[in-house]
Structure 1
Amino acid sequence: MELDELKEKHGLPEEVVDVLNQEGMEELYPPQVEAVRKGILEGENLIMAIPTAAGKTLVAELCMLKSILDHAGKCLYTVPLRALASEKYEEFKRKYEPIGVSVGIATGDYDVSGSELAEYDILVATSEKVDSLLRHRAKWLAEMTTVCVFDEIHLIDDPKRGPTLEVLAARLRQLNPELQILGLSATISNSEEIADWLDARHLKSDWRPVPLKEGVYFRGKIIFEDLTEKEIEASASDEVSKIALDTIEHGGGQVLVFVSTRNSTEAAARRVAGEIGDRLSSEEKDQLKEVAQEVENALGESTETCRKLGRYVRKGVAFHHAGLHYRQRSSIEDAFRKNLIKVICATPTLAAGVNLPSQRTVIRDYKRYSPPYGMQPIPVLEYKQQAGRAGRPDYDDHGEAVLISNSVEEKELLLDEYVRAEPERIKSKLASEPAIRTHVLGSIAAGYVDSLEAMIEFVRQTFFAYQFSTEDVSSTVEKVLDFLEEEEMISTEGRWLSATKFGSKVSQLYIDPLSGVKIREGLEKSKEREPTELGLLHTICSTPDMDTLYLRKREDSDLDVFVSDHAEAEKFLLDPPDPRRYPEKYEFYLAEVKTAKMLQDWINEQPEEQIHERYGVGAGDIRRKVGTAEWLLYGAYELSKLLEAEEAITPLRTLRQRVRYGIRKELLDLASLRGIGRVRARSLYKAGYEGKEDLREANVGELTRVSHIGKRTARSVIKQVQN
């Protein structure tokens, strides 16, 4: 279908057609044509299950833009990850703000109603952010009656994000029965079920703009699904390097390599870098040198991981995992899109993240360690997502996804169990108690339900009830209600339910009700014991919202000595469980202490390299834990005021700022300047600038003599302190 036909027969506004023409589009892909024929431009709900790069997002764009330009509609585009939100925000803003469509983004600050967000025509947000807005009774969101897009809706199957996505879809439909729903999904076996649940039309297709060939590498050949074969002629020390080298030498292409662990990404990158580094042009080497400098200096202080990444980037190869700083991941992704970096060796998180196609995708590891079961095969859906990254539009006539086998038996198994297999059936994960308790409290606190009957009626609208039955989840709901009443988060009067002040505050803070209980326990103890920084940090690390660090070999004994020491034990607000009676709980306690000690090292300005080595974490891990800790400390601060824990109020307020910047108290004033992190703040302090007042008389020349301060940073600092 050509764009002019789309305008004439389906009323797509002319300015949208002009934008698409500028983007180089002349006609729609077949799945997009089918979506139009199913009525998405006339307000029909639709679940669209098609492969990566087959045009799901554009369908949503057409639907949103027609609503905005023809009916002054407001549109919500929800995504599971902040990185995806940023990508979509930048894309929509670039394309559509020139024609008068305003685009906003919302991903954090879960305790605000965000009334200013109502002004945007398209709001890109994470599911958690939208859920938190509803808890704050954001009327503008509850009254929205145009278009809501759920990107990656198959993640309803995800134990962590799925319940929020599911409850959000059910809640928005409850509030706005006329809301048009678009669900975008990877190809899954039961997308029809999701469509039926949401009263939507269904579109499923295997069509791709760049055909995908899937196969298995064995003894120098790729054996494809149709049993055709391709020789890999390159010579290298390992299979991954051979395939990568063959791709670069014979097709001028790029490769994504998926392995199971972070250490494996770095080891694979080292081997591949040794094979392809000499095959880069002089111009590529010069540009890669700049990228290498970016990743080496991303933290302000270079670590061994930064230097290692920089060495490989100079040779056109990178490793990519959640332990890297987001600036490093962003630099790598940008250089890959520009065809500077030829090979990325990544953990599976990249497959579910930003759009990053390659000519070949190599899935080296199809098993992953899963405690307590050991090495387990990955789901077919996960493999298909990784495989779907192969094939670059405008560059390749086809993409190739390759598994690696070591025997004839394994080759046949991989062909049958992955290449020819259908993705698994998506199942709701709402029924578990931890998943449902925060949504039960949120529903009561926001006033969406006021009785057990109303709660059960809402549960009937969920995907879980559609797949199984309301009765299967009713017992869990009643158990959660008993817990909330016992912990004084809700009160009951007959069959009527209402939230207490404590329960309302916990819900608005967007923390797990059990986290609220743990924080309250620590705050009550702070009235009897001095709330030390370690004691407060451990309190927030004891909550289910904090993903604690793993205990490595022999760490438990060292931490046991630390906790058992009487002088140290007095620093904790929450007492340790008896290790003999509750060994498992005690081990969890030690993991909480380890996490708290890492955060304590962070705020005491220990070098990042030392933190990496001591705790087995990367820069990305530190930032995620810092972000969670900052939010939980804010929650504890708000609860300390409500619970009149006076002794903890000031320490919590100060501690939150220190955690945000990773600094001692004396640097708080300096670190509040934009562009001045922990390293630059300490450099300024050592040079005699102890606060903003000291910087008012400084000039650019004086500041650039300070370590880590360049001209641009110096000018920014001077401008800030003089305003």
Structure 2
Amino acid sequence: MLTIRDLIRWLPESVIELYEALGIDELYPPQAEAIERGLLDGRNMIISVPTAAGKTLLAELAMLRGALSGKRSLYIVPLRALASEKFESFSRFSKLGLRVGISTGDFEKRDERLGRNDIIIATSEKADSLIRNGASWVRRIGVLVVDEIHLLDSANRGPTLEMTMTKLMHLNPEMQVIGLSATIANGREIADWIKGEIVSSDWRPVRLREGVLLEDRLVFPDGEIQLENRNRDPVLNLVLDTVDQGGQMLIFESTRRNAESMAKKVSGALQESGETIELAERLSGEGKTAKKLAMCLRHGAAFHHAGLLPEQRRLIELGFRQNVVKVIACTPTLAAGLNLPARRVLIRSYKRYEAGLGTRPIPVMEYRQMAGRAGRPGLDPYGESLIMARSESELQKLMDHYVMGEPEDIWSKLASERALRTHVLATIASRFADSVDSLSRLMASTFYARQQDPSYLGETIASVLEFLVRSDMIDKDLTPTPLGALVSRLYIDPLSAMVMIQEIRGIRRPTVLTLLHVITMTPDMELLFVQQSDNWLEDFISEHSSELGNEKNFDWLLREVKTASMLMDWINEVHEDRIEDRYSISPGDLVRIAETAEWLMSALHRISKHMDLGVTYLAERLALRIHYGAGDELLQLLELKGIGRVRARKLYQAGYRSLEDLKAADKSTLSEILGPKIAEGVISQLKEPGVSA
């Protein structure tokens, strides 16, 4: 047994007392093993232990050990929400005199000020962009922690994470590297890549029982439990049984629609309380989604998916942690690191639709991520995870494949041409490589090259280099051109830049719609799906054909134009409710697509300025309009804090069309339009030096 006080050999008394004040006295067995294997002596380490078994504490100890000896730490996470959660948690280290920073957005910023912090939290994309943009402090990192390192296997996030790790290890050869995950089958392979140790354990602070739900039977490898049949729906019987025992429950659904439907069904079986009503009244948003969510929250249930606004998701998570929300029906994204354990977890559907592949069973690794959320340390004597079957034969299949099965190995996804276009250009533009030989040496140090046949990687790189030379982003001697350097800093796919250049040059008189369509044609843009009710699209395309880009694939054209039309409605101040209805999207989707569109429009502005494409001013104004969701004439008013598009329109309609107009306004009149508090804030800002029309 190892106690926290035994760590006095490595850490000062102030750190020991900080953890003792949190009630941490003894280390869990996997934590003790990591210490014994050299974690606090600077050894690189892959730590693969279940959720709630203390991975984050080990990362904290290593970072504190580094910070108190003058080393800077970088903590990489996959999601912005997880970055915010970690920032809030690590901020307690300010008591030790340490500074904690966070950076998740604006991929073109160098963020030199971040380097003043002892511990920096960032997404892998932001960390990658900091390297590209030459932040000097990334060359002085002493400890690198990669949370959810199994995402090396992700086709979307994996290549960026892998290249970021590769470059950071190249820049900081003495840096300690720590990878955290609940599910790694081939952890030894990743540990060998980072030249480190592997700590792998099934130990959990709360016992987990995994089984299958069939009708009202909870079937475990070591026995069965029969639920009381209070309802025709076995899921509701399971919910009621869990809540009656004082527990909480997560229900994983394959789609957002299913999650919303299940939350509504569960809410009908639960009772309102003063706490749940109060929580529902705190919910932000006025659209259909917000109303559905509020109705569920009033009964202590909720749905949780990427279509919600960030503040809505945060409220649900807070309600669950405070035990006000009893049941969350969610999509699998909730399992990606957020700290929301429950007494019971139900995986209601183990199949998921994948574009081009149809409906497929989820990997065992994903099942383990969800199942691992069962069991609340300090609250539950045990946790139960169940996967739902519809028949006896399916029960046995699920028991064999998921409950008793082993997770799949993690495989690098670096060799995709789309990923390599971006990362090869970034490698050359940031002068990590100045020749084919040096590029080959860097790529030979990737996880892909260690794990798989590097000849395929070499072929893909050769194809990418040919594209970059043809696109005038690098010279044949692997020198970046000014265009290539700019595209790398903008953090867009080089193919996106080529689409922008070619399409703008191909249209005689580009309009607002032209520019919106062009950015939707890029591979970086998330497109809306076309539904049967979208029969208006063909008429729209016919009416605006002279303004649209040269898209030859009609199916893609429909999706692009639908997305561009939605953005047009957004900047023309159509109410969010109408946008959600017309385009069948959730508020979170609207925010996310608008953020991506703003980023791409800003990139188009910079490329137009560099290439003299003739749309520089229009693109610059459009990026601002997308940011605010407002007309061009409101942009000056929107510079004021507290003034969004609705208040700006009210001011404009009342005759206040510039900052000079507002400076001359009567305080009582502004109070009538904006309310006293907002009016006071506006007047205060207008008095600040430098604020002028």
Q: Indicate the TM-score class for this superposition, using the shorter chain for normalisation.
A: over 0.9
1:553 aligns with 2:532: yes
1:320-469 mapped onto 2 (5 Å cutoff): 320-469=304-453
| Structure 1 residue identity aligned to 2:599 | W
Aligned-pair CA distance for 1:355 = 1.0
Match of 2:463 in 1: 479
1:661 aligns with 2:628: yes
Counting aligned pairs with the same residue, the percent is 46
Match of 1:642 in 2: 610
Aligned mate of 1:223, from 219, 223, 242: 219
Match of 2:687 in 1: 722
| Structure 2 residue identity aligned to 1:231 | Q
1:564 aligns with 2:542: yes
Match of 1:64 in 2: 63
* Distance across 1 between alignment mates of 2:400 and 2:495: 44
Is 2:289–2:587's contact at 8 Å kept on the other side of the alignment? no
* Range with greater deviation from structure 2 (374-383 or 36-45): 374-383
Query: If the length of structure 2 is used for normalisation, what is the TM-score?
Result: 0.96
Is 1:79–1:151's contact at 8 Å kept on the other side of the alignment? yes
Aligned-pair CA distance for 1:640 = 0.9
Match of 1:582 in 2: none
1:537 aligns with 2:516: yes
Aligned-pair CA distance for 1:636 = 0.7
Q: CA 1:23/1:505 → structure 2, altered by over 3 Å: closer, same or farther?
A: same
Specify the SS of the correspondent of 1:213.
strand
Aligned-pair CA distance for 1:702 = 5.1
1:240 aligns with 2:238: no
Match of 2:506 in 1: 525
* Distance across 2 between alignment mates of 1:121 and 1:356: 28
Aligned-pair CA distance for 1:195 = 0.4
Aligned-pair CA distance for 1:686 = 3.8
Is 1:626–1:660's contact at 8 Å kept on the other side of the alignment? yes
* Distance across 2 between alignment mates of 1:416 and 1:719: 67
Is 1:105–1:123's contact at 8 Å kept on the other side of the alignment? yes
* Distance across 2 between alignment mates of 1:687 and 1:293: 32
* Range with greater deviation from structure 2 (152-161 or 375-384): 375-384
After superposition, the C-alpha distances for 1:480-513 in whole angstroms (9 at most, x for unaligned) are: 0001001111101xxx311111111000100001
After superposition, the C-alpha distances for 1:642-684 in whole angstroms (9 at most, x for unaligned) are: 1012x31111111011100111122212322223322333344
* Distance across 1 between alignment mates of 2:62 and 2:663: 52
| Structure 1 residue identity aligned to 2:169 | R
1:576 aligns with 2:543: no
* Distance across 2 between alignment mates of 1:65 and 1:715: 44
* Structure 2, gaps ≥5 residues long: 689-693
Match of 2:492 in 1: 511
* Distance across 1 between alignment mates of 2:332 and 2:474: 41
| Structure 1 residue identity aligned to 2:537 | L
Aligned mate of 2:134, from 126, 137, 145: 137
| Runs of 4+ with >6 A deviation | 697-701
After superposition, the C-alpha distances for 1:31-56 in whole angstroms (9 at most, x for unaligned) are: 11111111011110000011111111
* Distance across 1 between alignment mates of 2:666 and 2:63: 50
Q: CA 1:151/1:398 → structure 2, altered by over 3 Å: closer, same or farther?
A: same
After superposition, the C-alpha distances for 1:355-408 in whole angstroms (9 at most, x for unaligned) are: 111111111111112233332111111111111111111100111111111111
Match of 1:580 in 2: none
Is 2:148–2:337's contact at 8 Å kept on the other side of the alignment? no
| Structure 1 residue identity aligned to 2:30 | P
| Structure 1 residue identity aligned to 2:246 | G
Is 1:537–1:596's contact at 8 Å kept on the other side of the alignment? yes
* Range with greater deviation from structure 2 (349-358 or 483-492): 349-358
* Distance across 1 between alignment mates of 2:209 and 2:541: 56
Q: CA 1:345/1:718 → structure 2, altered by over 3 Å: closer, same or farther?
A: farther
1:263 aligns with 2:257: yes
* Distance across 2 between alignment mates of 1:150 and 1:678: 39
* Structure 1, gaps ≥5 residues long: 578-584
Match of 2:691 in 1: none
* Distance across 2 between alignment mates of 1:696 and 1:593: 41
Q: How many residues were matched structurally? A: 687
Aligned-pair CA distance for 1:140 = 1.7
Aligned-pair CA distance for 1:547 = 1.2
| Structure 2 residue identity aligned to 1:648 | V
Aligned-pair CA distance for 1:705 = 4.0
| Structure 2 residue identity aligned to 1:239 | P
* Distance across 2 between alignment mates of 1:121 and 1:373: 45
Match of 2:3 in 1: 2
Is 2:414–2:448's contact at 8 Å kept on the other side of the alignment? yes
* Distance across 1 between alignment mates of 2:620 and 2:156: 29
Aligned-pair CA distance for 1:612 = 1.0
Is 1:531–1:651's contact at 8 Å kept on the other side of the alignment? no
* Distance across 1 between alignment mates of 2:126 and 2:682: 32
* Distance across 2 between alignment mates of 1:82 and 1:214: 30
Is 2:72–2:140's contact at 8 Å kept on the other side of the alignment? no
Match of 1:27 in 2: 26
Is 1:699–1:718's contact at 8 Å kept on the other side of the alignment? no
| Structure 2 residue identity aligned to 1:594 | K
Match of 1:152 in 2: 148
CA RMSD of aligned residues (A): 1.7
Is 1:522–1:536's contact at 8 Å kept on the other side of the alignment? no
| Structure 1 residue identity aligned to 2:4 | L
Aligned mate of 2:619, from 625, 628, 652: 652
* Distance across 1 between alignment mates of 2:378 and 2:339: 15
Q: CA 1:700/1:98 → structure 2, altered by over 3 Å: closer, same or farther?
A: farther
Aligned-pair CA distance for 1:559 = 2.5
Q: CA 1:52/1:715 → structure 2, altered by over 3 Å: closer, same or farther?
A: farther
Aligned-pair CA distance for 1:586 = 2.3
Match of 1:192 in 2: 188
Is 1:272–1:317's contact at 8 Å kept on the other side of the alignment? yes
* Distance across 2 between alignment mates of 1:714 and 1:342: 41
Match of 2:481 in 1: 500
Aligned-pair CA distance for 1:172 = 1.1
Aligned-pair CA distance for 1:327 = 1.0
Specify the SS of the correspondent of 2:270.
helix
